[in-house]
Amino acid sequence: MSETPWLTIVGLGEDGPEGLSPASLEALAQADIIMGASRHLNLLPDLTGSKITWPVPFADGLPILLSHRGSQVVMLASGNPFWFGGGSVITRYLKPKEWRALPAPSAMSLAAAALGWPLERTQCFGLHANPFAQLRPHLFPTSQILATMRDGAAVADLATWLAAKGFGATQIHVMEALGGLRQRIRKVSAECFNLSDVAHPVCVGLEIVGTGSIVPLASGRPDNLFQNDGQITKRPIRALTLSALAPCPGEHLWDIGGGSGSIAIEWLMAHPTCIATTIEVKPERAAQICENAAQFGVERLQVVIGSAPTVLEGLDVPNAVFIGGGISHELLKTVWNALPSDARLVANAVTLEFEALLSQWHHSKGGELLRIELANAQPLGRKRGWSSTFPIVQWSVSK
């Protein structure tokens, strides 16, 4: 029989040890140290192991836990520690043979069972430590969302946020202490939210209803969704640019000349594992980019203030680069040398000088040179005519 790891992560429901597996009960009985939140520790009967309350913030408990290597330690977690829990945070510091997990039903499973929602078709979020803006792309009529919340006050804040986004008619199922004796489920609309006694732990089920703007799924979202001072890659050009950049899961983008951040933000929206770094020389625009990223729930966007190519040194290697302004031979040379094999480069030029430069690089490196000319219908006296925009030359190439 293999040796028992020193750390056992036990998922605990709101009814305490009731319903735990024999393995979980045995781990608790044999533990030298039991660490967990005070509410979890209070659910336990008298045990021989020493109890240690996990501190706040969560990260402060890691060195305490690791200092007990060699003892038999039980870490208590809510439900399934690897479903919006702290399990993955802990195990990244451990070798595979050092730990085991004994999960219980997660809050999401209990919530779906209580509401009769198909969990595989329900969007799930951990909002106890994340911004509400993560929900923004998922706000559309008929959408069903489950989310864990920090506390009762956060539920009220979420209702206010939903109403401000135009989804005040959304039905909020407020679910407290699911699976325990204190379980309580109430339903109220976001715009009429008046519950002042919501107790922790709490999660919510959202049935989205309202007339707020819906974020489209396709690249080239409406320009008015992005705060900008006029420096923005317009919607049709942005769609063509992102198509050329071709984001794939886990890839890293350099967005040089961020402007409003629209290219980098839509890159991040393509997949939750995509990462992006945007370079912007003007601090006020950099701040605007951060605000736009927050509105779309992609605050993982890294914003670097400075001028390329100087600030590119030391950045993580990209899989794709977009140059939206300030094109120069020096910048292209620096970017080209930084690109690994098979990485993509896309550059948009408006002026004749930049167009000539891209033509030279296209002749030298290959790829595709595309001239984009657009015209919009505008009033012309009593009738309408075409108003042409400046043509854009786009060079896209895979190294």
pLDDT tens, the chain, 399 aa long: 357 899 999 999 888 888 788 999 999 999 999 999 998 999 898 899 999 999 989 999 999 999 999 999 999 999 999 988 889 999 999 999 999 999 999 999 999 999 999 999 999 999 988 999 999 999 999 999 999 999 999 999 999 999 999 999 999 999 999 998 899 999 999 999 999 999 999 999 999 999 999 999 999 999 999 999 988 999 999 999 999 999 999 999 999 999 999 999 999 999 999 999 999 999 999 999 999 999 999 999 999 999 999 999 999 999 999 999 889 999 999 999 999 999 999 999 999 999 999 999 999 999 999 999 999 999 999 999 999 988 999 999 999
Q: What is the pLDDT of residue 14?
A: 85
Are 96 and 189 in the same domain? no
Instruction: Give the burial class of 236: count Cβ atoms within 10 A of its Cβ; 0-12 exposed, 13-18 middle, 19 or more buried.
Output: middle
Are 255 and 272 in contact by the 8 Å Cβ rule? The answer is no
Helix (H, G, I), strand (E, B) or coil at 372: strand
Q: What is the pLDDT of residue 1?
A: 38
Which tokens sit at 194?
A: 């008046």
The answer as to whether 217 is a domain residue is: no
The answer as to whether 214 is a domain residue is: no
Are 50 and 188 in the same domain? no
DSSP percent split of the chain into helix, strand, coil, nearest 5: 30, 25, 40
Which residues contact residue 220 at a Cβ distance below 8 angstroms, ignoring those fewer than 6 apart?
235, 236, 238, 239, 242, 266
Which residues contact residue 199 at a Cβ distance below 8 angstroms, ignoring those fewer than 6 apart?
152, 176, 177, 182, 184
What is the maximal distance between C-alpha atoms in the chain? 89
At which of 175, 207, 239 does a domain end? 207
Are 360 and 333 in contact by the 8 Å Cβ rule? The answer is no
Residue 381 structural domain: 223-398
Are 228 and 172 in the same domain? no
Are 297 and 131 in contact by the 8 Å Cβ rule? The answer is yes
Q: What is the pTM of this model?
A: 0.88
The answer as to whether 381 is a domain residue is: yes
Round to whole Å and give the CA distance between 152 and 176: 9
The answer as to whether 244 is a domain residue is: yes
Q: What is the pLDDT of residue 2?
A: 53
The answer as to whether 361 is a domain residue is: yes
Are 271 and 391 in the same domain? yes
Are 296 and 149 in the same domain? no
Are 383 and 238 in the same domain? yes
Are 345 and 397 in contact by the 8 Å Cβ rule? The answer is yes
Are 371 and 391 in contact by the 8 Å Cβ rule? The answer is yes
Instruction: Give the burial class of 136: count Cβ atoms within 10 A of its Cβ; 0-12 exposed, 13-18 middle, 19 or more buried.
Output: buried
The answer as to whether 215 is a domain residue is: no
Are 338 and 314 in contact by the 8 Å Cβ rule? The answer is no
At which of 176, 207, 238 does a domain end? 207
Are 25 and 91 in the same domain? yes
Round to whole Å and give the CA distance between 264 and 302: 9
Helix (H, G, I), strand (E, B) or coil at 343: coil
Are 292 and 222 in contact by the 8 Å Cβ rule? The answer is no
At which of 83, 104, 125 does a domain end? 104
Q: What is the pLDDT of residue 126?
A: 93
Are 163 and 50 in the same domain? no
The answer as to whether 216 is a domain residue is: no
Are 70 and 135 in the same domain? no
The amino acid that residue 121 corresponds to is: R
The answer as to whether 212 is a domain residue is: no
Number of domains in the chain: 3
